[in-house]
Amino acid sequence: MARNHLGNLRRLMAELPVEAQAGQHAYRIHEGVPGGDALVLLTPAAEQRGRVGQTQHPAPELPGDLIPPLDVLVFWEELWRSHTGFPTGLKPTLDRVIDYLSGELHRIGQTRLFHGFALDLARAVRQVENVLHDGVRPELSRVPCWECGARLVKIWGDTARDDHWSCPRCHERYDQNRYERAKYDHLAGQGAARYVRVSDAIAATGRPEGTVRAWMRSGLVSSEREPDTGRLMVWWPDVRARHLAASNRRVAEPA
C-alpha cells in the first residue's frame, strides 16, 4: 500500500497545477490566495537539505491548514538517510525523493519507522485527493455550516470511524449524525424547492430506500435524471411532504 501511495502522489501532484489555475474549484480558497489549496500543496518549505535535525515532524500551523506533500516526503527521506548514514546534497524534488523512497521501501518496511511513514503517506494522498476531488469520493457538499454558513467539506480520516465533515471557514466539526441534521435543516429551509439525489433524500428523512422508491413508483414523488450523469434525482418538496405526512399519521395513531 505504501508503494501505491507513493505512485499516487506522483500522479496526483502532477494534476495540481491545473487545479491551481482554477482555484475556485478547490474545496476552499486558502485565505484568499489565488490558486487555492492546490497552490498551497505545490509550495513546500523543503527547499534545502538538513531539515530533519533542525525542524520537527511537518505539522499544520493552524487546524485545517494543509501540509505540502514534499515537506512530508523530505522529512522521511532525511530521517532515513540519517538512519542509514547516506546523506545527500542534491536539491529535493518530488520525483527525486519519491524515486529514492521507493527504492528504499523494502528496507524501511523492516524497521519501526515504517508505521509512521505509511500513515503520513496515506494522509498526504488524502489531502491531495480532497483538493482534486479525485475519484468518486464525496466532495464539497451543499450543506451550510450552522455557525457561519460556509459549505461543509468531507474530511477523510485514517479509518472510516475518523471520517467527518468540517467547515473550511470556522473549522466546526460535524460527525455523521450532526451532518445529517444540518442537511435536513438546509433542505427544509428556503431555496429547497429543487431536485436532490435519492441518497440525500433518504439520509435527510431517515426513510428506507424502498419507501422513497415506492413513493416514486406511485407518482407521489416526482423524479428525473440528470442530463450529464444520468443520476436519479427526486423533487425534495414531494419527499418532505410524504415524510411529514407519514410522521403525522404515526403520531395520530392511538396507542
What residues does each domain of the chain span? 2-132, 138-182, 189-255
Crossing angle for the helix pair 176-188 and 198-205, nearest 10 degrees? 100
Q: What is the pLDDT of residue 32?
A: 47
* Residue 206 CB burial class (10 angstroms; 0-12, 13-18, ≥19): exposed
**Residue for grid cell 469520493:** 137
Written as one letter, the residue type at 77 is: E
Q: What is the pLDDT of residue 69?
A: 92
Average pLDDT per consecutive 10 residues, the chain (255 residues; last block may be shorter): 88 81 47 63 68 62 80 92 88 91 94 93 88 55 83 74 82 87 75 78 82 91 84 87 75 48
Helix (H) or strand (E) holding 207: none
Q: What is the pLDDT of residue 248?
A: 67
- CATH number belonging to domain 189-255: 1.10.1660.10
Residue 61 Cα distances to 20, 58, 65, 67, angstroms: 21, 9, 7, 9
Sequence length of the chain is 255
Q: What is the pLDDT of residue 153?
A: 85
Q: What is the pLDDT of residue 103?
A: 94
